[in-house]
């Protein structure tokens, strides 16, 4: 039994900027009909962006009964990442690994820190898509045995391990990672999950696609978003890089026939380019990403059953590409090294501060979590577990 309330975001400023007409003009209606005159009673009710601080979002999540939430992470490895950092990331690939965290690392860290208080088992399924092994049809797991990452810190570390060994490709479709998330929700007996997709571009639209029609990737993504709305699953798309993002605003605003508004687009680049301090920008990003979760969570509580295709076999995630597995195996066979310069690039991943992703961890809180001194002295609550900080201990190597 489904709820018949559909929810739609109101983003008039974005709507005015959008130029692509997503209304199909097929004689036979497509799988998802977005003509306005077909909506009427199915028109989603609007969820307003009605919070002014991150603490209000956390309180609303608590008030909605969200004591436990499960994070799923999807990372875009399409080839456009190589040039969409021209203006926003100093002409570097958005996946460039170095001393400065790239946009993907920043987004993973912020989302991980803000959602970790609600994740009881601290296990994060992490998937990649859009590379040469998956294209627009599959996803791959970060680990060969399909195991989940233990917290966002391991997700960050594993991301840094696999990126140098991936061959970026395409085209872009979010359908495979959404379907993988649906499968996880089904296997969890309907526990509430939040899928965070971090990507550099909108869904593939070929120049050959006629005006008013959907590309295969667009149609597949829309169908998956609609299917996901029958599950306790929220989808947050984080846009990194130069864009463009006009059609993502259309996706965010105009997908009909959903059990609830389950899709939220956040422009990471725009928020992080504001003339504010880093702490303020990180808070603004977390707020933009999570402000709709409380009402979405309430909407999922009214779902009395899973999707109509529950139990239907789905495509299993692929293992990481062969190059990643070969690297993993070579690392396992390397004997203990006394030349620490050979492992210089790997040590900081485990020892780096999870806040700034730059300085080493040299301050411990009473709860046991670690940051660097510069970040730790500015906080009143632990960024990992959100407990009030009553004790700070400076660590010396």
Residues 164 and 287 in one domain: yes
- Look at residue 68 in the predicted model and tell me its pLDDT: 76
Q: Is 233 domain-assigned?
A: yes
Residues 311 and 358 in one domain: no
**Average pLDDT of 249-253?**
66
Q: Could you tell me the CATH number of the domain that includes residue 392? A: 3.30.40.10
Q: Is 45 domain-assigned?
A: no
Q: Could you tell me the CATH number of the domain that includes residue 105? A: 3.40.50.410
d(CA 268, CA 280): 13
- Look at residue 146 in the predicted model and tell me its pLDDT: 92
Q: Is 363 domain-assigned?
A: yes
Query: Would strands 45-47 and 7-9 be described as parallel, antiparallel, or unpaired?
Result: parallel
Helices and strands (DSSP H and E) totals, the chain: 13, 13
The domain in which residue 306 lies consists of 54-204+215-348
**% of the chain at pLDDT higher than 70:** 75
Residues 303 and 377 in one domain: no
Q: Is 301 domain-assigned?
A: yes
**Banded model confidence at residue 51, pLDDT cuts 50, 70, 90:** low
Residues 307 and 365 in one domain: no
Flag whether pLDDT at 69 surpasses 90: no
- Look at residue 213 in the predicted model and tell me its pLDDT: 77
Q: 3-state class of 52 per DSSP?
A: coil
Residues 309 and 261 in one domain: yes
Flag whether pLDDT at 64 surpasses 90: no
Residues 304 and 396 in one domain: no
Q: Is 28 domain-assigned?
A: no
HSE, CB side, 13 Å, CA atoms: give it for residue 122: 9
Residues 64 and 182 in one domain: yes
- Look at residue 359 in the predicted model and tell me its pLDDT: 83
**Average pLDDT of 240-253?**
78
**% of the chain at pLDDT higher than 90:** 40
Flag whether pLDDT at 374 surpasses 70: yes
- Look at residue 253 in the predicted model and tell me its pLDDT: 66
8 A C-beta contact, residue 135 and residue 169 = yes
Measured from the Cβ of residue 237, the count of other Cβ atoms closer than 10 Å reads: 27
**Average pLDDT of 294-310?**
72
* Averaged pLDDT of the chain: 79
Residues 122 and 251 in one domain: yes
Q: Is 101 domain-assigned?
A: yes
Residues 313 and 271 in one domain: yes
CA dihedral 8, 14, 15, 19 (to 10 degrees): -130
Q: 3-state class of 251 per DSSP?
A: helix
**Banded model confidence at residue 10, pLDDT cuts 50, 70, 90:** very low
Least confident of 68-82, 220-234, 241-255: 241-255
Flag whether pLDDT at 294 surpasses 50: yes
Residues 294 and 364 in one domain: no
Q: Is 19 domain-assigned?
A: no
**Banded model confidence at residue 4, pLDDT cuts 50, 70, 90:** very low
Flag whether pLDDT at 182 surpasses 90: yes
Residues 114 and 231 in one domain: yes
Flag whether pLDDT at 342 surpasses 50: no
Q: Is 41 domain-assigned?
A: no
More confident residue, 141 or 355: 141
Last residue of one domain, picked from the residues 325, 348, 371: 348
**Banded model confidence at residue 58, pLDDT cuts 50, 70, 90:** confident
Flag whether pLDDT at 192 surpasses 90: yes
pTM: 0.73
- Look at residue 321 in the predicted model and tell me its pLDDT: 96
d(CA 188, CA 173): 25
Residues 107 and 246 in one domain: yes
Flag whether pLDDT at 24 surpasses 50: no
CA dihedral 8, 9, 14, 17 (to 10 degrees): 0
The closest of 152, 87, 197, 126 to 357, measured between CA atoms, is: 152
Our count of domains for the chain comes to 2
Last residue of one domain, picked from the residues 310, 328, 348: 348
In 146-219, DSSP assigns E strands to: 149-150, 193-199
């Amino acid at each position: 039994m489904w709820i018949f309330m559909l929810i739609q975001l109101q983003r008039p400023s974005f709507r005015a900027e959008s130029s692509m007409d997503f209304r199909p003009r097929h004689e036979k209606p497509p799988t998802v009909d977005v003509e306005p005159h077909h909506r009427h009673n199915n028109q989603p009710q609007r969820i307003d962006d009605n919070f002014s601080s991150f603490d209000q979002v956390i309180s609303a999540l608590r008030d909605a009964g969200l004591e436990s939430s499960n994070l799923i992470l999807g990372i875009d490895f399409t080839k456009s990442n190589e040039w969409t950092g021209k203006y926003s990331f100093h002409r570097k690939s958005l996946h460039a690994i170095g001393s400065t965290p790239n946009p993907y690392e920043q987004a993973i860290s912020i989302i991980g820190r803000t959602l970790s208080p609600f994740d009881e088992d601290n296990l994060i399924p992490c998937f990649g898509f859009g590379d040469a092994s998956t294209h627009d049809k599959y996803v791959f797991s970060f680990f060969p045995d399909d195991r989940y990452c233990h917290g966002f810190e391991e997700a960050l570390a594993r991301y840094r391990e696999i990126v140098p060994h991936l061959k970026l490709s395409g085209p872009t479709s979010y359908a495979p990672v959404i379907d993988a998330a649906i499968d996880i929700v089904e296997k969890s007996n309907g526990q509430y999950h939040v899928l965070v997709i971090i990507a550099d571009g909108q869904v593939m639209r070929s120049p050959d696609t006629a005006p008013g029609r959907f590309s295969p990737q667009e149609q597949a993504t829309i169908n998956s978003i609609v299917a996901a709305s029958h599950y306790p699953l929220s989808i947050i798309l984080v846009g990194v890089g130069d864009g463009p993002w006009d059609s993502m605003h259309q996706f965010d605003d105009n997908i009909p026939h959903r059990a609830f508004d389950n899709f939220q687009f956040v422009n990471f680049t725009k928020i992080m380019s504001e003339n504010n301090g880093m702490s303020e920008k990180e808070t603004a990003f977390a707020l933009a990403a999570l402000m709709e979760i409380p009402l979405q969570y309430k909407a999922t509580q009214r779902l009395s059953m899973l999707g109509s295709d529950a139990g239907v076999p789905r495509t299993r995630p692929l293992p990481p590409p062969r190059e990643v597995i070969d690297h993993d195996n070579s690392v396992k066979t390397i004997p203990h090294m006394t030349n620490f310069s050979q492992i210089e690039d790997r040590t900081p991943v485990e020892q780096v501060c999870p806040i700034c992703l730059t300085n080493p961890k040299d301050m411990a809180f009473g709860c046991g979590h670690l940051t660097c001194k510069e970040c730790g002295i500015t906080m009143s609550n632990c960024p990992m577990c959100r407990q009030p900080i009553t004790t700070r201990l400076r660590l010396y190597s």
